[in-house]
């Protein structure tokens, strides 16, 4: 049985995975983030398959709060100084272990949780050390569908993908692109 079949929780960094890692300042007190709609559908598809999506980031952003709210992601943890400790707290809170987790990251602060998760994934433009540590080296760059790619791979390896495609071909999917 593949490790993918045991995954119940995806924990993902945001900047560099869901975004291209750029920070755009709009004056002194606001910033903009650009999200890929395909990643949003990926999150909805994971949720539909019974997988919890959690976001852990060291930054704080109202734009991210809005995006998480739109996608029904209730496990949003911003200002995480230590991603391993925050990821452990999320897993404990939800009743999961690292053996049931896929962790997606792109830079050095993500290494510790990546090395403990059953599966880890990194966008193609991640730091070299992170790519070396990743179980799955994604073809997509951060912000360019990397999260969607990892969800799609996970669902394919679990055997869930064909049923999802069938729903879309019949015109009756539950998860709409947002």
User: Which CATH superfamily includes the segment(s) 3-169?
Assistant: HAD superfamily/HAD-like (3.40.50.1000)
**Reported pTM:** 0.94
Report DSSP letters for the chain, one per residue: --GGGG--EEEE-STTTTS-S--EE-SSS-EE----HHHHHHHHHHHHTT-EEEEE-SS--HHHHHHHHHHT--EEE-S-S-HHHHHHHHHHHHT--GGGEEEE--SGGGHHHHHHSSEEEE-TTS-HHHHHH-SEE-SSPTTTTHHHHHHHHHHHHHT-HHHHHHHHHTT--SS---
d(CA 52, CA 34): 23
What digits encode the pLDDT tens for the residues 42-85?
999 999 999 999 999 999 999 999 999 999 999 999 999 999 99
Per-residue pLDDT of the chain (178 residues; tens, 9 = 90+): 579 999 999 999 999 999 999 988 998 888 889 999 999 999 999 999 999 999 999 999 999 999 999 999 999 999 999 999 999 999 999 999 999 999 999 999 999 999 999 999 999 999 999 999 999 999 999 999 999 999 999 999 999 999 999 888 888 766 555 5
């Amino acid at each position: 049985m593949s490790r993918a079949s045991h995954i119940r929780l995806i924990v993902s960094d945001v900047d560099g995975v869901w975004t291209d890692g750029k920070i755009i300042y709009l004056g002194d007190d606001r910033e903009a983030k650009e999200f890929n709609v395909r990643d949003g559908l990926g999150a909805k598809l994971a949720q539909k398959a019974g997988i919890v999506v959690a976001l852990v980031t060291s930054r704080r952003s109202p734009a991210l709060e809005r995006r998480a709210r739109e996608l029904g992601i209730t496990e949003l943890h911003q200002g995480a100084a230590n991603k391993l400790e925050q990821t452990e707290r999320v897993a404990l809170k939800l009743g999961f272990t690292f053996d049931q987790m896929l962790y997606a990251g792109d830079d050095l602060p993500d290494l510790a949780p990546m090395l403990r998760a059953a599966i880890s994934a990194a966008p193609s433009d991640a730091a070299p050390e992170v790519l070396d540590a990743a179980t799955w080296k994604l073809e997509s760059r951060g912000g360019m569908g990397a999260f969607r790619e990892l969800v799609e791979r996970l669902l394919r390896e679990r055997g869930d993908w064909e049923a999802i495609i069938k729903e879309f071909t019949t015109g009756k999917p539950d998860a709409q692109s947002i």
